[in-house]
Structure 1
Amino acid sequence: MNHFDYQGGILFAEDVAIPAIAAEIGTPFYCYSTATIERHYAVLADALAAAGLETTICFACKANPNLAVIRTLAQLGAGADVVSEGELRRALAAGVPAERIVFSGIGKSREELAFALDAGIMQINVESEPELLMLSELAVAAGRVVEVALRVNPDVDANTHAKITTGKKENKFGIEWTRVREVYAIARALPGIAPVAVACHIGSQLTEIGPFREAFLRLRDLVSDLRADGTEISRLDLGGGLGVPYDGETPPSPAVYAETIAQTLGDLGCRFIVEPGRLLVGNAGLLVSSVVRVKRGATRTFVVVDAAMNDLMRPALYDAFHAIRPVVEPAADAAAAPVDIVGPVCETGDTFARQRDLTPVEAGDLLVFETAGAYGAAMASTYNSRPLVPEVMVKGDRFALVRARPSYEDMIALDRRPDWQTA
């Protein structure tokens, strides 16, 4: 469910008409619904509580790092899962308490680990033995003892897109299943390290419960072995990955997900951390774009819009599907015809949809790309020297610009000419 609906034939975000935002901000832009974010968080939190699970929900900031989005979730009680110093700084700036922040990622630098130690975050998810040794050295130098989880690679196929699966042995993430006990033994002996948790994340956009269950059962066996070895495991970080509907998928509900955790891990006496990203914000965002022109070619018709692959990378990167609909509701008897919906970037890959049925549009009409709140603005770039797309947040009958579109002057001013080039 989201809060984007037609009212009187015009698409609204909550109680704000999309054309009113477009008139003030210009297109393209992202639009986020506060009510949808709040609803998704409540559904997940209620499901976990109903299953009897003591859980910290840490929003995966990589899905949408806008401060207004993170702040909305922080005010509901969410923590943050971060994968860089930049995301950690954003989470802190948005008001997430340090004690609700988890730092994941395989390539944390010495400087990033030192910053995390100084910030006093809840947990660092260690993904290799060299990282563990570096963290111990830094913790000792800082006079700190840091609580860590070792991220386990359970070699479980998430049955998702190859570019977003993370839990198979050929993936770069985590510590190989067969070496986990060995590395925990090293962690127990290292100064400055308190190995209190196990972490696992098998992929993104999962639409089946089976892979979760398989991974959780492996974690269950591992916790038993680690406790027998003398490691006091008190937390389990289960990552994220629960999918959302893009094109008719029916992912497991938060209730089914929570019940699966309870059935497989609920009697271990552990506190849980879950790290949803897309689940909380994907369906809470739209990308709004204007039609530039309709171009009729020899074999097909192209609807050229002012959004491009640099604004929404997912279709070009993953062949991802986003539903597309006009802001003005089509008449009930309007006939749809297949068109290619494309952007202005100089790449054939700058194509959002091929032979998608769409009712007639013309230059100046507004279209929206749905379920764009996750990995949309977060992955945007300035390719073709296009300004980063602005972001808007709606709450009730109000909207606010929460990231401005930079001017061309701002963009050019970031570059510096070397001193050997004449003026």
Structure 2
Amino acid sequence: MSDFSYQHGALCAENLSLATIADEFGTPAYVYSRAAITRGYMAYADACRDAGRDAGTALVCYSVKSNSNLAVLHLLAQLGSGFDIVSGGELLRVLAAGGNPGKIIFSGVGKTRAEMQLALSHGIACFNVESVSELHRLNRVAGDMGVVAPISLRVNPNVDAKTHPYISTGLKENKFGVAFDDALATYRTAAALPHLRVTGIDCHIGSQLLDDAPLLEALDKLIELIDQLAAEGIVIAHLDIGGGLGIDYEAEQPVAVGAYLGRLFARIDAWRVARWQGAPVKVLFEPGRSIVGNAGVLLTRIEYLKPGSEKNFAIVDAAMNDLMRPAMYQAWHGVEAVLPRSGTTATYDVVGPVCESGDWLARSRALCVEEGDLLAIMSAGAYGMTMASNYNTRGRAVEVLVDGNVSHLIRERELPEQLFALEKIIS
């Protein structure tokens, strides 16, 4: 995480000390690096360009669920990003941030009628449909509105992503997508419905993938299906390979974006040359974590140090409601002292004040700290704030975007009164 480094004895975001940010905005606080987000997106955009792909033949659709702050979405929209959404709320966020609705794809297994109407009214690029029932509902909604809905099928290729079971989405037992063996028949159904227009094919096999072999295996299965569809006169204009590339949390070595996209485009181009004439198929990507994951930290302050006979605890003001990944996935995040001390270290579990034994952020970490010290929970830019809750009536953290040596408040801290402002007492 080169945008979070020690300078003059303090951990900094770009060129600004995290201690200065804590003094100004308090803790807990999510702190993001604008440079890191930009570089994360440009890794995809540059790889597409290097493969000879322009905006008409490749589109990066940032996965909004990974980090949906308006400032982050606005930055990505300015860079030319499209967006992958999974709810009507995420659609409205993208539009509020200045995103182009013509670059939005709508994924998710449970789209409501109201969400379909909202998306159709804004003219989004495509619906990634995940069941036969959804096909028929979307056809009825589009018919009632007098429009035609552009669709692709999210195909479940039954490829093992070799990742945590909670973020594996491409196996037969997962709830996502249309089974590969049923895809051809489902495409026939879609092509026959009068208010749908088949435009593409989609898959997403999981998240935090360190190796691109499963992704390329899924690509081969999609190519096989596209050939079968073409034989029946169903033309696929775009191929959406999803997202899923992992990041470095604990000395992992994820495949480089450029290397993966280079192999993917080479395989697609070889297939097109061998089988088809005319323009290359448009390729869509749905990255999230690999763009923003290492671009943010959760800044927290130690309230108490609590020694024990079996464990020592560093009790901080951030908690599982702020960062759910450790409790939910047993996920590992690095922990760094913002202002390191010299002296003897001790082993601590870093825990929060929430009334749950599962409220921990890191376990068995060697730290030289005192009460009142600041800690940075690293690699927290993805699935941090978007998964945060108000459990124990705790307001969600403030969010700050750093640009060089300047900090910008991009989300204010929630106050307790705001959390129950919509509630009513009855007599």
TM-score bin (small chain): over 0.9
**Partner AA of 2:296 in structure 1:** G
- 5 Å matches for 1:14-413? 14-53=14-53, 54-266=57-269, 267-268=271-272, 269-331=280-342, 334-358=343-367, 360-413=368-421
Alpha-carbon distance between aligned partners in 2 of 1:397 and 1:36, rounded to the nearest angstrom? 14
Q: Deviations over 1:189-228 (max 9, x none)?
A: 1111111100000001001111111101101111111111
Q: Identity over the aligned pairs, expressed in percent? A: 46
Asked if structure 2 preserves the Cα contact closer than 8 Å seen for 1:52 and 1:262, the reply is no
Alpha-carbon distance between aligned partners in 1 of 2:266 and 2:181, rounded to the nearest angstrom? 25
**Partner AA of 1:49 in structure 2:** R
Instruction: Please state how far the C-alpha of 1:354 moved relative to its aligned partner.
Output: 1.9
**What is the RMSD of the two structures over their aligned residues, measured on CA atoms?**
1.1
Asked if structure 2 preserves the Cα contact closer than 8 Å seen for 1:80 and 1:101, the reply is yes
Alpha-carbon distance between aligned partners in 1 of 2:413 and 2:422, rounded to the nearest angstrom? 15
Instruction: Please state how far the C-alpha of 1:336 moved relative to its aligned partner.
Output: 3.1
Alpha-carbon distance between aligned partners in 2 of 1:315 and 1:66, rounded to the nearest angstrom? 21
**Partner AA of 1:7 in structure 2:** Q
SS of 1:69 mapped into structure 2: helix
If the length of structure 2 is used for normalisation, what is the TM-score?
A: 0.95
Please list every run of at least 4 consecutive aligned residues from structure 1 whose deviation after the TM superposition is greater than 4 angstroms.
Answer: none
Q: Which residue of 2 aligns with 1:5?
A: 5
**Partner AA of 1:391 in structure 2:** E
Question: How many residues are treated as equivalent by the alignment?
Answer: 416
Alpha-carbon distance between aligned partners in 1 of 2:111 and 2:164, rounded to the nearest angstrom? 25
Asked if structure 1 preserves the Cα contact closer than 8 Å seen for 2:128 and 2:153, the reply is yes
**Partner AA of 2:313 in structure 1:** F
Instruction: Please state how far the C-alpha of 1:335 moved relative to its aligned partner.
Output: 4.0
Alpha-carbon distance between aligned partners in 2 of 1:58 and 1:187, rounded to the nearest angstrom? 24
SS of 1:178 mapped into structure 2: helix
Q: Deviations over 1:263-320 (max 9, x none)?
A: 3323432101101000110000000000001101112211111100000000000000
Q: Deviations over 1:109-151 (max 9, x none)?
A: 0110111000100011000111111111111221212211000
Alpha-carbon distance between aligned partners in 2 of 1:183 and 1:339, rounded to the nearest angstrom? 54
Asked if structure 1 preserves the Cα contact closer than 8 Å seen for 2:67 and 2:385, the reply is yes
**Partner AA of 2:417 in structure 1:** E
Gaps of 5+ in 1: none
Alpha-carbon distance between aligned partners in 1 of 2:382 and 2:86, rounded to the nearest angstrom? 16
Moved more, 283-292 or 347-356: 347-356
Instruction: Please state how far the C-alpha of 1:329 moved relative to its aligned partner.
Output: 3.1
**Partner AA of 1:292 in structure 2:** E
Instruction: Please state how far the C-alpha of 1:160 moved relative to its aligned partner.
Output: 0.2
Q: Which residue of 1 aligns with 2:276?
A: none
SS of 2:11 mapped into structure 1: strand
Q: Deviations over 1:336-376 (max 9, x none)?
A: 33211111111111112221222x21111000000000000
SS of 1:413 mapped into structure 2: coil
Alpha-carbon distance between aligned partners in 2 of 1:198 and 1:330, rounded to the nearest angstrom? 54
Alpha-carbon distance between aligned partners in 2 of 1:38 and 1:354, rounded to the nearest angstrom? 32
Gaps of 5+ in 2: 273-279
Q: Deviations over 1:78-130 (max 9, x none)?
A: 01100000000001111110111000000000110111000100011000111
Alpha-carbon distance between aligned partners in 2 of 1:404 and 1:96, rounded to the nearest angstrom? 22
Asked if structure 2 preserves the Cα contact closer than 8 Å seen for 1:2 and 1:283, the reply is no
Alpha-carbon distance between aligned partners in 2 of 1:117 and 1:327, rounded to the nearest angstrom? 47
Distance 1:2 1:84, change over 3 A: farther
**Partner AA of 1:164 in structure 2:** I
Moved more, 261-270 or 23-32: 261-270
SS of 2:153 mapped into structure 1: strand
